[in-house]
Chains A and B, each alone.
Chain A
Amino acid sequence: MSEGRYLRPQRLDEAVDALKGGGWNLVAGGTDHYPARVVEQRPEDILDLTGLTDLRGIGEFPDHFRIGALTRWTDLIEAPLPGWFDGLKQAAREVGGVQIQNRGTIAGNLCNASPAADGVPALLSLDASVELASAGGVRILPLADFILGNRKTARRPHELMTAILTPKPARPARARFLKLGARRYLVISIVMVAGLLEVEEGRVAGARLAVGSCSAGAQRLPALEAALTGQPADAGLAMLATPEHLAGLSPIDDIRADAGYRRDAALILVRRCLADLGGLR
């Protein structure tokens, strides 16, 4: 059968040059590509990004960390990183099984843009941005502006994601990730919550919380974040979270849970996340 075109460039300029022509489906770890092609295998034009080895790895810069787009979940788990990455590392360990963590890339998780993408809430709580490259240059978008909805992103057909950028918190920070599913491993979440607190002199100096699987894309909780700021950083933070803080979520009924449960569970997990973060020393 006809296989379509296949390109595996070794240099970014070759890749973005090829993308100018459009019509390419991008592949890296393959962990989302193949599951969508179990029943039918139609010819398609594939741009395989894994030859762009410069895009793999995590680099530290004065004010931020740069996670190369081809960094795999296992790379992240094994990397020595500051404590505020703990939430993202916890999320990384929940992405599929170890086989998926060994292959799946962080950028792929973002570009696939599943509402249940395990990486998104933690990266939102890290205030991450994404770097998109094209023949015309590079642009940087906040992650929240990159994911537009269920399987929808702001990536243009001629762009590819080159990195995820996470700013260093201005103050000591701690982070957590909680995932609720109906079994222990290999589970698509019912609800996920990621949280990061910056703490100064015993008080919350900054808070970022995000909830996944409760909207078309994971959502930050700005009203709650504002309410937390300035409060004593202890387990009592949990009780500051109210249902109103989660009003921006739009959970649905599906096979895993009903919408009402998701809304309730999200609040429970947010509170647990805050109790956990507040209780840390």
Chain B
Amino acid sequence: MNAPLPENRIRFTVNGESVALAAPPMRRLSAVLRDQLGLTGTKIGCDAGDCGACTVLLDGRQVCACLVPAGQIDGAEIVTVEGLARDGALNALQAAFHRHGAAQCGICTPGMLMAATELLAKNRQPDRTKIEDALGGVLCRCTGYRKIVDAVLDAGGIAAPATAEPVIAEAGGAVGARIPRKDGVAKLTGAEKFGADAAPADSLWLRAVRSPHAHARFTLGDLAAFAAAHPGIERIFTARDVPGSNSFGIYPDLKDQPVLADGYVRFRGEAVLALVGDRAALANLADADLPIAWDILPPLSGTVAAMAEGAPVLHPGKADNVLIRGHVARGDLAAGFAKAAARTSGRFETGFVEHAYIEPEAGYARRVGARIEIVACTQTPYMDRDEVAHVLGIAKEAVRIVPTATGGGFGGKLDMSVQPLLATAAWLLNRPVRMIYHRPESMASTTKRHPARIEVEAAADAEGRLTAFRFQGDFNTGAYASWGPTVANRVPVHATGPYKVGSALCDSRAIYTNDTPAGAFRGFGVPQAAIAHEAAMDDLALQLGIDRLEFRYINALRPGDATHCGQVIEQSVGMAACLETLRPRWRQLIAENIAFNAQNSDRRRGVGIGCMWYGCGNTSMSNPSTMRLGLKPDGRLVLYNGAHDIGQGSYTIMAQIAADAVGLPVDLVDQVHADTDLTADAGKTSASRQTFVSGKAAELAGLDLRAALLRLANAGPDAVLALDGPVLTITDGADVRRLDLREMSTTEGDVLLGEGTFDPPTTPLDENGQGVPYATYAFAAQIAQVEVDMELGTVKPLLIAAAHDVGRSINPMLVEGQIQGGIAQGIGLALMEEFIPGRTENLHDYLIPTFGDVPDIEMHLIEDAEPLGPYGAKGIGEPALVPTAPAILGAIRDATGAVIRQVPALPHRVRKAMLEQGRTP
């Protein structure tokens, strides 16, 4: 026997170097690599072999490092992502990923690269099927997989579409260029640091003890005795220990969630205790070991139970458990219905949807004198700063938030997770404290997409014009408010879809329950509403005998139209253009499907269409961004970019915008990434606002710096700037001035600093929801072609064609990445994703789309410039997802005749709908 060696010593090679170390034999290889060898390029997404993020090569074969015992690697040859680049240069595969934008947030990228490396070693020119089979064990939540396939095809020497161009060196050419991500290389080499990847060596570990019950009262036993009996536990914190206010939440008047529950829990997964100490000692405990006496109460699960007569009130002052109502009313609804040549009504139901970012929440906190620093993954550093200050009872200036690279967010990292726990512990112990959520903890305790129950009624006249639209939606906001008010306010404003309606009455409610808190998720309730309004459009079109696309074209909002909020939208209204662009493909697919269906009965094909509009930024609320662009004595530009990049690309496009605004090449732009001490408040990465709002601020900052430079030379506005190292040349016609930046005085290191602030102009909504909720709207249409197995009810998307009015595409490659990723999430919403508290808290029971579930995606970027936006640009993040599910559901109906009223359209639901509606062969 060569094992176990008494001291558990193992010898193996990693990336060609011999390693000898001692490790407990059942320690996971992923932990050996990350914690003992510092190779944090291998990521941990689930510790269960479900996500593939930790894929490495073991003797040339791809394996999940989380499933390999250290005891089995003696003598093995391991290759990790850190072993791919040679002499600091990306290898061919990594370079292809970079060129294609195949990495967005980057958390799955090491796993993808390693799986592809195994494949390419066996098969130098794999085709798409081989690539999907080989990489199918790695999940990605950002990209929709298509650019990853393109990159691997390209690495194999097979031409793939849409490669990135070399970085534009000339001034003024950055906006609109497909430049690779400015922060891309580190995501490909494993160098990027995510929330779990770094912490001070002397950090203590924090573990939360969470409620196993959805609704309960509890009393704590003798925690001091428990701690004393368990060596390695430093402290156990309870609700009483939270230094400031034991409450947090998005809205200043709705901080209704405790950091640690105080004798009463409202959902399964709610934090009750924070144990701080030695990592292994904490891992050795079960929650049930703690002295907690539970008095279990009947839970209110779902909105119907929460609204029922006699249901307990979960939050004081919120009778009927209604958190908030939203309301928009315009025109004479009764008169509108009276004009109906066609009329429809329907009820729709959606479930909880989990963000399923591959990076679980993680980070650390440390106290620095009278200040606290939080280094963690997040989407919203500035809100985190204010929230942590509230929890600790200190000034917000005493809080520094340093976001790590964030491995996907999609709205789920807009709420605090590890932050208040870490802040409390580090503040009180005056020691660095770190925490990494495990996957079930992440899924059980963090926010979800609101489940919705929606009723829609709509009418159209004989010409196909919408005369009346009625919407009532109940949204399950779970145990705490989180972003429930945002959903309740945003939904009625979007509930009609992007159409001109004669009259509308749209109501929404966010309702407290004992379910997992629902918060922000890509679209803030609009994707749920779109399922309902698009089904209504299909109904009306079919009743009137009007083609479904043409029906939407008749009703599409156009410049000069008033929305049902009474907002007249004059500019950048590309809805009709999106439909015009898709029309030829639509007609072609209909013809194709007719031919296919004439030959087949066991499988039938259908096509569906979804349209959407989406207001960029906060609803009728200020949401300013400030950006700064500095010029350094060495002739480099520095963008102080507070728009945190969670994979969507704000560290790339802001540089493109600022460079063109100042009139200098983008590759001169270095960046200080979001850090509340170093960058100005650029708000949150949400609401499809960063390109539009922070992008405008970046443009203004660039223009401000340019104006300052021109003043130095007394040059006119058309002067041309050039930098050659520290020498700035300003050419204004025949007049050429050269400035040596090294000879100029600096302020905090900058020779000059430009600043820009933008807050999109909106107005409050009146009691009928009338006003200007958003300064601009994105528009989009998508068509989906699906094939339905008429016996089994399985649905296979064959093609998605998407047309998006983005105003102006700052970086088409990144825009495409957003669209493809949004569509993948839309496919998940439509066909497979359903979070059930206590039951699907892992990535094998909760299904997100894999490589084989995302079809070819055709994309058309409509550029109907928004005058307020930077170079005409507006948002794309959320619009990408909204139309997909309606298009797929419409396609299922087209194929089968069955209307699906509950998503996800799992096979048994589709089959049931077909049977009930008499549609099986």
Contacts and interface: CB of A to CB of B under 8 A. Distances in A.
Contacts of A153: none
Contacts of B908: 190, 257-258, 260-261
B911 interface: yes
Nearest to B791: A268
A129 interface: no
A41 B71 contact: no
Q: Which of A96, A98, A258, A264 has the most CB of B within 10 A?
A: A98
Contact of A265 (B2, B26, B792): B792
Interface stretch (A32-40, A133-141, A226-234): A32-40
A98 B906 CA distance: 25
A51 B284 contact: no
A186 B50 contact: yes
Contact of B852 (A7, A100, A185): A185
A45 B50 CA distance: 25
Nearest to B854: A184
A177 to B, nearest CB: 16
A48 B71 contact: yes
A155 interface: no
A8 B69 CA distance: 11
Q: Which of B132, B139, B791 has the most CB of A within 10 A?
A: B791
Q: Which of A43, A99, A187, A256 has the most CB of B within 10 A?
A: A99
Q: Is the interface of B mostly helix, strand, loop or mixed?
A: loop
Interface string A4-29: 10111110001000000000000101
A102 B2 contact: no
Contacts of A30: 67-69, 72
A129 B729 CA distance: 83
Contacts of B132: 184-185
Contacts of B918: none
B571 interface: no
A256 B852 CA distance: 19
A74 B48 CA distance: 19
Interface residues of A, number: 55
Nearest to B278: A1
Contact of B49 (A34, A43, A74, A265): A34
Given A27-B69, A35-B50, A182-B847, A40 B283 contact: yes
Given A51-B3, A256-B906, A103 B283 contact: no
Q: Which of B24, B67, B137, B836 has the most CB of A within 10 A?
A: B67
A265 B47 CA distance: 33
A43 B281 CA distance: 11
Contact of A38 (B58, B439, B849, B911): B439
A10 to B, nearest CB: 5
Contacts, number: 181
A268 B911 CA distance: 12
Interface in B832-865: 832, 834, 836, 839-840, 842, 844-845, 847, 849-853
B582 interface: no
Contacts of B280: 1
A182 B49 contact: no
Interface string A43-87: 100101011000000000000000000000010000000000000
A261 B907 contact: yes
Contacts of A43: 284
A183 B839 contact: no
A184 B68 contact: no
A30 B31 CA distance: 15
B60 to A, nearest CB: 10
Contacts of B52: 97, 99
Interface in A178-196: 180, 182-188, 190
B46 interface: yes
A215 interface: no
Contacts of A188: 844-845
Interface in B882-909: 904, 906-908
Given A183-B853, A255-B836, 11 more contacts: A1-B232, A8-B4, A8-B25, A33-B67, A51-B1, A74-B61, A100-B49, A184-B136, A188-B845, A261-B912, A264-B911
Interface of B: 1-4, 24-26, 28, 46-50, 52, 55, 58, 61-64, 66-69, 71-72, 115, 118, 132-134, 136-139, 232, 280-281, 283-286, 438-441, 791-794, 831-832, 834, 836, 839-840, 842, 844-845, 847, 849-853, 904, 906-908, 911-912
26 contacts: A1-B281, A4-B26, A6-B25, A27-B69, A31-B49, A33-B67, A34-B28, A34-B49, A35-B50, A38-B439, A40-B286, A46-B69, A48-B71, A97-B138, A99-B52, A99-B137, A100-B49, A102-B61, A103-B63, A182-B904, A184-B851, A190-B908, A256-B906, A261-B908, A261-B912, A268-B792
